[in-house]
Chain A
């Protein structure tokens, strides 16, 4: 285990350090410590660049996994920090004071996954789904096809194929049999 992994484990109880490739690693931390961890990585570990933030819906275990992708430009390496948050009450500390663009990602995650970031600027404003009244659309239990079928009328004369079965039948007929 490298020095940073030891430091994160000792200070913040980080675990599961994994070298994805030689210039990219991932680590898990508790969501309640995410702001402290990110402040440490930015100010003391050289990870000054926040590439992006996103979430993964791990519905099977009732959790959203947040992914924060950081980059240390001087050392030319990246780090993905994971934090699990309860899917039933998804609330995470905001990091908008650490990075000036973080509020936009948090606003997106609020709209797309229903994850709240109290104090994050304009977090409850619509982002890309103006007028949307359905559930957060990136949740795994939101079936976009069923929603579309229920919401929009069929267009007469239009034939829709399931992409996978159509591809099998037309392009790979031997494999389809």
Chain B
């Protein structure tokens, strides 16, 4: 039987605990803590072992990316943008490259469209494999993390072969992609997908049918459907609440309109439902990768010729390009004043709202031991908050 959903405390009900009363304990979870995703802190106020108040503190990874980009040439910013989200850098590359192409009026070759889609779906799978290890680990299942990180490494092997880099790829660049697929690459992609898929079957059996995981995750971190628009919730967190939004379908960028898939939608909107939904999206990513391998053009150019990057001036204008990353809407807002450097670049990461406004509210009323599991169930990356 499903545990009763945790009561959601609306913002107006936020109580200010009287810390001098001696009834409460203030504690910091993070920035160095195994139950924190990345370098972030939660300042928790607990009464007994129940959290009554929470504040998210960020800034431990702030490196001023957006400021740095204003003093670098457009092309010099590529080594920067991929570092905004470590486990999932390719979405930064795509959004930034697509924004520049739109402002500069560059149309990329058909083959590049497919290779970008392949790269993004491989990244989605690798990122989810990292996430599921964290989600299982937060509830005491260390074995799952060992399996999934091994599977992620197999996907990173493919990235290394395709791009030369395991973590930061800088593969998607303005005009297309940096290189063609190596000989026999698609065959190795399919072989790896078969291995990962088999492992996902094992994870599904061991993790999702485990009584402890079900008891702790069901009912935890319930997101009401009407929060989705109010808090700007996107991605699996919104889809688990029954909102069928997926930019891959809704915006129709890259090769997604030609791929056969439907957004996976849930109903229960708790930590267990979000985990299940993401597992479904991992299978879906494998399916999409197989479709891409089947349909991608095997010949033709993979990159459009660009002006000399040292003297590349982008016409004045602005645009906002977004993509569906594993956590939701990821976007780059780029403003050009016609010079060789961006006037302003603003990055929209889904963690911005999920880890701050949503997390601070969801965590109230939760047992201290479940805070880590709840946080991972929102799938947050602090660097995209701080940029």
Contacts and interface: CB of A to CB of B under 8 A. Distances in A.
A49 B232 contact: yes
B344 interface: yes
B343 interface: yes
A101 B76 contact: no
B199 interface: no
Contact of B229 (A23, A49, A52, A130): A49
Interface stretch (B154-162, B168-176, B202-210, B315-323): B315-323
B346 A168 contact: no
Contacts of A32: none
Contacts of A163: 72-73, 76
Contacts of B71: 144-145
A54 B345 CA distance: 10
Contacts of B385: 128
A51 B331 contact: yes
B349 to A, nearest CB: 9
Interface of A is mostly: mixed
Contacts of B335: 56
A170 to B, nearest CB: 12
A176 to B, nearest CB: 8
Interface residues of B, number: 46
Contact of B343 (A56, A128, A130): A56
Contacts of B230: 99-100
Contacts, number: 107
Interface string A59-72: 00000000101000
Contacts of A114: none
Interface in A39-90: 48-52, 54, 56-57, 67, 69, 73, 76, 78, 80
A140 B57 CA distance: 26
Contacts of B11: 100
A164 B322 CA distance: 28
Give the most central of A99, A101, A130: most B CB within 10 Å. Answer: A101
A158 interface: no
B167 interface: no
Contact of A172 (B57, B308, B358): B308
Contact of B67 (A103, A137, A172): A137
A168 B250 CA distance: 42
Interface string B47-78: 00000000001110010101110111100100
Interface in A6-51: 20-21, 23-24, 26, 48-51
B143 to A, nearest CB: 36
A101 B356 contact: yes
A73 B356 contact: no
B352 interface: yes
B68 A144 contact: yes
A160 to B, nearest CB: 14
Minimum-distance CB pairs A-B, first 8? A128-B59, A101-B353, A54-B346, A52-B348, A101-B357, A48-B229, A100-B231, A128-B62
Interface of A: 20-21, 23-24, 26, 48-52, 54, 56-57, 67, 69, 73, 76, 78, 80, 99-101, 103-105, 126-130, 137-138, 140, 144-145, 163-164, 167-168, 172, 175
23 contacts: A20-B317, A20-B320, A23-B251, A48-B229, A49-B232, A51-B320, A54-B346, A67-B318, A73-B250, A80-B320, A80-B333, A99-B230, A99-B232, A101-B353, A101-B357, A103-B357, A104-B356, A127-B59, A128-B385, A128-B386, A138-B66, A140-B70, A172-B310
